[in-house]
Each structure stands twice: as structure tokens, then as C-alpha cells.
Structure 1
Amino acid sequence: MNVIGAVKAYITKMVEESEPGMKILVMDKETTSVVSMVFSQSEIQQKEVFLLERIDLGSKNFNSGLRYLKCLVFLRPTQQNIDLLSKELRNPRYGAYYIYFSNIVAKADVKVLAENDEQEVVKEVRELYMDYLAVNPHLFSLGLPTCMSNWKSYSLQRTVQGLIAVLLSLKKCPIIRFQKRSRECHELAQRVEELVNKESTLFAFSQSNQPLLLILDRRCDPVTPLLNQWTYQAMVHELLTINNNRVNLSKVKGISKDLAEVVLSAEQDPFYAKNIFLNFGEIGQNIKELMEHFQSKAKSHQKVESIADMKAFVETYPQFKKLSGNVAKHVTVVGELSSMLSEYELLDVSEVEQEITSQTDHSSHLQSVRKLLNVANNKKLRDIDAVKLVILYGLKYQSHSNNDIVGLKKLLMKRNIPEHLIASIPSVLKYSSHYTQQNDNVVDAVKITKRFFKGLNGVDNVYTQHKPVIHEILEDLLKGRIKEDVYPRLNNLSNQLNNRPQDVIVFMIGGVTYEESLTIHAFNKNYPGTNFVLGGTTIHNSKSFLEEVNDTVRIKL
């Protein structure tokens, strides 16, 4: 299972199967993101697509001389898009239209388009199921940063649509299991099953082993999104934020215009692909090797002494320029991460975070948090890191008889930390309370694990002791120990229940993290007989997670 491969195959089919010749590609905001996640603009243009347009922003091309061009239309099947496309077809600017929807489209909507196609310019209408953002081969997102507050009015429907598109693009008709304690998980599971049954002809795949769709709730693990990260992709998202493969560096001191926003895509960047799951210590060494490789290339380009040298230089210059840009990008990103580590003393912060989440020693942990929060000892600590430390302490020890959450909040106030951040502490405790008060192994987000040795190589150990709850769930699944009363199933397929599934799609309402993506990557590597894919309503860092929590608590609790 490979969501990037599935989306790329659909896009290639879309741009190559229409008649040859120059084409316009018209998209909406969401489908533009779908395409840009897996193809660069230059790669799309190499497929005879010379112009990209947004249907929701209006067009600048009013020249009737464009009638000879073919128009590829790639849209989500929303009412707004049907209306905009109907308007376009009533006054067509191009000679032929090939219409592709990112999901199942209602027959009534197709009829509306046919009625507006008076000039009969529409040559094809098809469904290509890519109604989601393919982030890594095993990771997808629906781009819903806060889903719980409008779950009934919008997010539930959008999540059903996204999951259906994932299943159809991967050609899977799954057993559906869900986290029983979550009403939202049950609702989503039911809605997905209803649509699968309704569209049974679309889901009539030949399957030797029944795939599994496991639906979880972010509230079962509020710890993982709060931790500082140490692998490249996760670290960049936590400290700099990745938004649809783009990182905004415009606030970095002395940044050049070319590097104000950079793209981090494993599909387009071999260095990023190689380092995406490596820890920070290894990345530093690999950056050094990348620099040395670039310098050797640069020296060879300085020796232009003959016509043959000039010809060789001209032929290799595009690759050299690309390598130059790639080196500059990663040196800048890693340099900024390194500066932030030092400036905000994140090594010390992360060590305490990991100790709290992976061991049980109330007195020691309280002392460690107090020490970091003390203004006299530590003026560099970021506000968000200070608050996260108290939240992690609270999640672990809120029921401890000697807990001092009140005293820690007073220390935060002495640091003049904004009230809205301090308010996140009771919000997260309330957000997770429905789960942490229960007593099954699934939600024990602070299990005791053996502490590994310390040291700077500790990026592999002391800073990565914590394992997400999803790790334990998947281990139980592979060992056949996942409980029916905790994760009931909807489908009546009892003969499949105890079989080890070969294909597992895990979806988390409320968002996933890059640490959980790393877990899925490790499972795919360590269990070659099973394929795992992870998806979520969004991909969180600690800042976005706290925003989702505050939004959810304010609306629902």
C-alpha cells in the first residue's frame, strides 16, 4: 500500500490519457494541494500542461483564441464546484473538457453538468479517488486542523469522503474496527460502512486476505503530540512547521528571498528522502557529506578550459544548480534547527519530557520541572515548552496525592506566560480525562519503560524513550491480542477476526503526528508480511494540537 504511488498514478492517468497536445489544468484549492504534494509544477508542465488555474479564483484567460486548447478539470465534487463548472460550461473558453472528480460524484450533479453543456464540449467525466493529501508513502492527511468542534456539521462528512477515497485508491474493502469509547469513532465507522455497502460495485475487489481499517481517537494519546522530536521530518514540523510539504523560513534572520519558503518532499528531494526518519545527530554528518559532494562538483565546474569543458558544463549546469539549491535549503533548515536547540535549551527540556512519559518517579520529576521553570535558572525556556512540561506532569500525576499542578502554574505566571497558554493545562486534562480515568492498556500513554544510557548519542535513546500508544495497539494486533470489547468491529466477518491482516489502515480522528508516522515506518520495515498505512484528520505539532484541544474543550465540554 502506497498512497503517494496511488495519487501519482491517478494524476499521470489524468494528464496523459486525454488526447495529446497542450492542456490547461483547472483545479480548486483542495485539489491543487493534492497535486502539489506529489508533483512539482515543472513536472506537471513536462506532461504538456502549460497552465494551471484555480476555478474558485476566476480566470485571467478570456481570449477566445484559446479554444484550440484542451482543458483538464480536477475538482472535489462539492456543490460550489458543480455551480462554478456549470457556469464555465455555459460559456466555454476551451475546445474540449475532460472532467475528473476526486471522489464519488452524484448522478444528479452529472446531469446538471450535461444540461449546461449545450455546446457539447465535455468529452469525459470520470472519478479518480484522490480526495486526500498523500504525505509519505504510508501517511495521509485530510487537512482538517480542528475537526471536533464542527464534527457533526462538516468534519464527519469530509472525513468519510477522505477515507472512502483512500480505500478506493488502494483498492481495499476492509473489516472496520473502532475505538469503542469514542462516539466519534463509532459514528465514522458506521458512515464508512454504509457508504461501502451503498457503493458495493466500486468495492468489489479481489482480496485474498481481508484488510483492516482501525479507527482511533486522538484523545487516547494526548502525550505524543506534546513532545519535542528528534527525527528530521518530525523535528522540522515541531520547530518550524510543515504545511503541505512547505516550510516558511521568512522569519529566519538574514534569510535570502530564494529560501523564504522551501519545499521538503521526499519525492523530489533525494537528501530529504534519505534523512527523513534519521535522528538529528546523523543528519549533521550527512549534511557535511552533502556539502563536500557539492564542493567537489563546484571545483570541477571552475575548470572550463576548452570547448569540451564548456559543453560539459552547459549540459550539467541544471543538475548543478539543483544540487546547489538543495544544499542551501538543507544547510539553512538544519542550521535553524541547531540554533533553536541551543537558544531554547531543548535538549534539557526534551530529557525531562521523556523522563516523565517513560518512568514513574514523582518527586524527581516534580523537582526537574520546577528547576526548568525557575526564571533565575532558565530564562531561555520558550513559553510553549514551559506549559507542555506542566501538562505532561499533570497527565502523569494528576491523581497523585502530592501532585503540585497549582504550584507549577504559579511558576508559569511568574514567567509572565500568556493566560491562553496556561489555560491549555486544564483543557488538555479535561480533553483526555474520559480516557485516562479508565484502566485498559490501550490508553496508558505513560507506561514505564527501562531507561537507556545517556549521552549525546542519546538522540537514539534518552531523547526517544517514549513510544506512542499506537505502537502498543499494533503490537497487540499482530499478536492477535487486540480486544473485541475495546475495538469492536462492524462487519459480520467472524472467520476473519483472528487472522493476522496483511493490510492495515489506521486512521486517527483528531490528527496524527510524525512520531506516529515513524512508528508505522518501523512496523513496515520490521514486519515485511504486513503493510501499514496511517492517516489522520491533520498532522499535528504541539502548537496545532493545543489549538485543537482548546477548540474542542471550548465547544464540547
Structure 2
Amino acid sequence: MDVIFAVKLYLNKMIEECGFGLKSLLMDRETTSIVSMVFTQSEMLAKEVYLFERLDRSDSIDTMKYLKCIVFVRPTKENISYLCRELKAPKFGQYFIYFSNIISKTDVKLLAECDEYEVVRDIQEFYCDFVAVCPHLMSLNILDGCYQNLHLKSESLERCVEGIISLLLSLQKYPTIRYQASSTACQRLAEGVKHVLNKEGSLFNFKSSSTISSRDNTTLPPVLLILDRRLDALTPLLNQWTYQAMLHELLTINNNRINLSDVPSVSRDMKEVVLSAEHDEFYEQNMYLNYGEIGANIKALMEEFQSKTKSQQKVETISDMKAFIEQYPQFKKMSGTVSKHVTLIGELSRLITMYNLFEVSEAEQELACQSNHSESLKKIRRLIANENVRYVDALRLVLLYALRYEKHSSNDVYSLIEALKKKAPGEDDPGKVSLKGVENIYTQHTPVIKDIIEELAKGRLKASHYPYLGTIQLTDKPSEIIVFMIGGTTYEESLAIYNLNKTLSGVKIILGSTSVHNFTSFLKEIRSDVTASTNSSSKNL
């Protein structure tokens, strides 16, 4: 089970089926992200794809009958409308149309009727209706109002169903479905997926979708487990210290890209950097390592280069590394992407120092893993008053405190909220940020999802808490697990899945979610949910 491999397989097949010759690629906003996450533009050029355009902007494209056109879009009403318009006045010689998910027969008939010039050579469903972030992680990039929309059975629920169905089809899996019993959203999503599985049964007739039970030689299907972000509100609140998670927390990774245009003194070619483990060896080897290890690894590479050039320049700190690259441009060329990571680590170092993040993170971990109320309260008050500590970090400390000591007799959330208001008068009222409904689980901090998957893999996950959808209940140990988390996952949880795939013998795990959060996006999700709930309550009065 590898989502990047699955998407690449489909995209390669699209291109191969068009045959030799110059090609263009028409996409929508979502499929543009899907493609860019797994292929670079140079790789596509090597496959004779020379033109990349958006279907919704096709009016501005010149007529080029000598080009074959690959259309890769989601099967939405809007895209069908754009395609009909395109086919009525075709700009390319031939069209090979691929939908990222199941398309209705009615829409296929409509496209056929619009193909007056008979330029369409093929229409197929190629199931990759999700963003493949890394081999074990996929996202739907749904960020706004996810919870409220799922409860209302609106577009977000439908999009989640479509994304999961596409994932199952791409991996050729027909799963047993389990869901978090305490979450209405999880139950509705599970029922939505089951409905499509039943409706489209012929598409899920996979001979290889089951595994053999070691106990009685019977076949076991994979397990699809649907969880709610509220199960673990702690993980998105904590600052992260592994490389990939730090980059997302402090700089924000958006479809494998980081915008550095606001970074002081950044070079022109570093205004936006691309991070992909598929195309960046250093990132692949270091994305799950901690902050100190990455700096040591870059330093080792520079020392290797110094030995070759017989340079005696001192390289001890991040600043030394940046100065070294500027003095030896041949190192930048020789080392490929390493200079990019020196820039990134340099910016991380600057932000960590500027915002006192070591001290902030220490306070966070004490809240998560220890139980000393008075000391934690003193430390939080001191950090809120510190001018170098950002409002957003002070807010996360208050949220952690509220979770940790919600029922403590000396709970003093009110005074902390008042201190936050004084720290940033222009910000939204921090008292309106609610984490109600979350399950407070405090031990030594590891993501809750890790424990759940370990219990599931051992066949011990309680059916009362995570029931099966339908009457089938399995007691054996699944060897293939697909987890989907409503409300967003984190790179810390992705790391947990990565490690479980290495340590759980004979078990393969995929993690999917509506989005990949950092604290800022998680806070936005919470505020959106609170606002929607408040508006809904007002209407019912």
C-alpha cells in the first residue's frame, strides 16, 4: 500500500495511452495539486507533456491541433460544463479524458453529445482523487468548516466519501469499516462510504483485496477505521521538533511548497522552495529526524566538501553554513538541494531564537506529560508576559492548560485569558475558542492514534468504542489498515504511522485525512466550528 506509487501508476498510464507525440495536460485546481505532488515539470517534459493548463481557463489557450490533449479532472458538474464547452470548440487534435473518480453515465452521454467534431479518443476513470503527501499519507486538502459540514451532510461529507472511495479503488481494497462511536461525523462518513461500496459493487471485485488469516486460513479484508480529530486535540497544539513537522509548523508546507518571500535576505531563487521526498534525497533521509540531527548532517556534508577543496573555513553554526555557501558557489551546485535546506534550517533557527520556542516547548511538554499545576501556571503567566513570545504560542499554552487542568480545583483559565487579551488586544476573544467534546488523554505524550492502531493490529480494539458498520465482526488481526481522520491530521501522526509500518511486523498502514494541520490551521478549524455551532444555536432559539 503506497499512495504515491498508486497515483504515479495512473498518471504514467494516462500518458502512455496517448502514444508518442507532443501532449498538453488540462487539469482543474485539485488535480493540479495531485499531479504536482508526485511529478516535477521536468519529469513531465521528459514524457513529452509540454503544455500545462487549467480547464477553467481554457478560453485563453491558442488552438494547437498538432497537440494531443490529456484531460485529468474531478468529475464535478462544473468540470463537465467546462469540458462540454471545450469539446464544442476544440483547440487540440485529440482528447483523452480521465476522471479522478466515478463519473455518472448521464455525464458521459452528455460529453458524447458535445463531441461534435469527434475529437475524443477515450474516456476513463482513473482513481486518484486525493493528494499523495508521502507513501503512507494522503490528504483531501479540506480546511474550512469540516466538522460542521460533515454534520450537515453537505459538500465536505460528499468530498470525504469520494476521497476514501478513490483511495480504496486505487489500492484495490474492499474493507471492513469501523468508526469512532463517540463521533456522529465518523458514523455518517462510514455510512456514506458503505453506501457507495454497495452501489458500486462491481468496481470492488478485487481478488487481491483480502489477506489470509494465520489462525484458520480464512480470508480477512483490510480494515478502514474512521476517526475524529477531537479524539486527540493535544497533538496539534504542541510545537514539533522533527524536520518535516517543524517546517509545517513554523513555515507552512502547502502542496510540498514553502513560501519564503518574507524571510529576511533570502536569495531570489529561494523565494519558494519545493520539498518532496521523491525528488530530494536529503529531505527523504532527514524529514523524520530531529532539529539537532539535521544540522549535524548538513555540517558533515560541508566538512566532506571542505576536505575535497582543502578549505579551512570554520563551519560550526547555521550562520557559518550560510556564509560558506555564499563563498563557495560550487558547493551549492555540487550539493544539489543541500543549500535549500541550509536556508530552511537557518530560518527555523532564527524563528526559534526570536520567539523563545525552546522555553515555550518545554512548558508545553510539562503540561502534556507532567502534573505540577502551580509551576505550570507560573511558567505560562511568565511566558504570556514575555514580549518575545508570540500571541499564537501563548494561546496554545493556555489551550493546553485548559485541557490539562479543566477539572483542577485551582484552575485559573479566566486570568490567563485576560492576560492574553492584554497581550494582543486586536485578536479575537480567546475565550471563544472551545475544545469541548475532546477526550483528554494525558500520559507521556504520543499521538493517540498510535495506541489505537496498535490495539487494532493486535485484534484488541474494543468494538464498543470502535464498532463495525454492519453485522460482521472480526476478531482476527488485520494486516492492512487504512485510517481516515476527520478534522485533519498532523505530521507528528504521520511520523507515528511511518514508525508503526517499520515496527509492526506484517502490518501495512495508510493514514488519510481531510487536511494536514499545523497549529494555525487547527485553530482556524476550531474557530470555524465554534462560529458555525453558535450561529446554528441562535437560529434554533
Partner of 1:539: 516
Shift of 1:95: 1.4
Aligned residue-pair number: 503
Partner of 1:305: none
- Partners of 1:176 and 1:16 in 2: CA distance: 35
2:433 is matched with which residue: 427, 437, 447?
A: 427
Higher alpha-carbon deviation: 234-243 or 478-487: 478-487
SS at match of 1:131: coil
Preserved contact between residue 332 and residue 339 of structure 2 (Cα < 8 Å):
no
Partner of 1:489: 468
The runs of 4+ residues in structure 1 deviating greater than 6 Å are 296-300
Q: 1:323 to 1:266 in 2, by over 3 A?
A: farther
Preserved contact between residue 53 and residue 59 of structure 1 (Cα < 8 Å):
no
> Quick one: which amino acid aligns to residue 273 of structure 1?
E
- Partners of 2:76 and 2:531 in 1: CA distance: 29
Partner of 1:127: 125
Partner of 2:393: 385
Deviations, residues 297-327 of structure 1 (Å, cap 9, x unaligned): 7789xxxxxxxxxxxxxxxxxx987655512
> Quick one: which amino acid aligns to residue 498 of structure 1?
T
Higher alpha-carbon deviation: 21-30 or 325-334: 325-334
Unaligned runs of 5+ in 2: 212-219, 312-329, 535-541
2:246 paired with 1:240: no
Partner of 1:50: 50
- Partners of 2:471 and 2:276 in 1: CA distance: 41
2:526 paired with 1:552: no
SS at match of 1:347: helix
Q: 1:245 to 1:294 in 2, by over 3 A?
A: farther
- Partners of 2:67 and 2:383 in 1: CA distance: 64
- Partners of 1:110 and 1:520 in 2: CA distance: 39
SS at match of 1:520: helix
Preserved contact between residue 383 and residue 389 of structure 2 (Cα < 8 Å):
yes
Matches within 5 A, 1:88-127: 88-127=86-125
Matches within 5 A, 1:151-162: 151=150, 152-162=153-163
- Partners of 1:168 and 1:19 in 2: CA distance: 25
SS at match of 1:329: helix
Matches within 5 A, 1:236-315: 236-293=247-304
Preserved contact between residue 26 and residue 54 of structure 2 (Cα < 8 Å):
yes
> Quick one: which amino acid aligns to residue 160 of structure 2?
T
Shift of 1:272: 0.2
Q: 1:322 to 1:501 in 2, by over 3 A?
A: farther
> Quick one: which amino acid aligns to residue 262 of structure 2?
K
Partner of 2:238: 227
RMSD over aligned Cα, in angstroms? 1.8
Partner of 1:165: 166
2:479 paired with 1:502: yes
2:191 paired with 1:180: no
SS at match of 1:150: helix
Preserved contact between residue 445 and residue 468 of structure 1 (Cα < 8 Å):
no
Preserved contact between residue 175 and residue 491 of structure 1 (Cα < 8 Å):
no
Preserved contact between residue 58 and residue 86 of structure 2 (Cα < 8 Å):
no
2:498 paired with 1:521: yes
Shift of 1:273: 0.3
Percent identity of paired positions between Structure 1 and Structure 2: 53
> Quick one: which amino acid aligns to residue 362 of structure 2?
E
Shift of 1:498: 1.0
Shift of 1:368: 2.1
> Quick one: which amino acid aligns to residue 188 of structure 1?
L
Deviations, residues 275-303 of structure 1 (Å, cap 9, x unaligned): 01000010001111233455567789xxx
Preserved contact between residue 356 and residue 388 of structure 2 (Cα < 8 Å):
yes
1:402 is matched with which residue: 385, 410, 430?
A: 410
Shift of 1:118: 1.5
Higher alpha-carbon deviation: 187-196 or 476-485: 476-485
- Partners of 2:14 and 2:308 in 1: CA distance: 38
- Partners of 1:111 and 1:294 in 2: CA distance: 62
Matches within 5 A, 1:53-72: 53-63=53-63, 66-72=64-70
Shift of 1:48: 0.8
**TM-score, normalised on structure 1?**
0.87
Shift of 1:57: 1.8
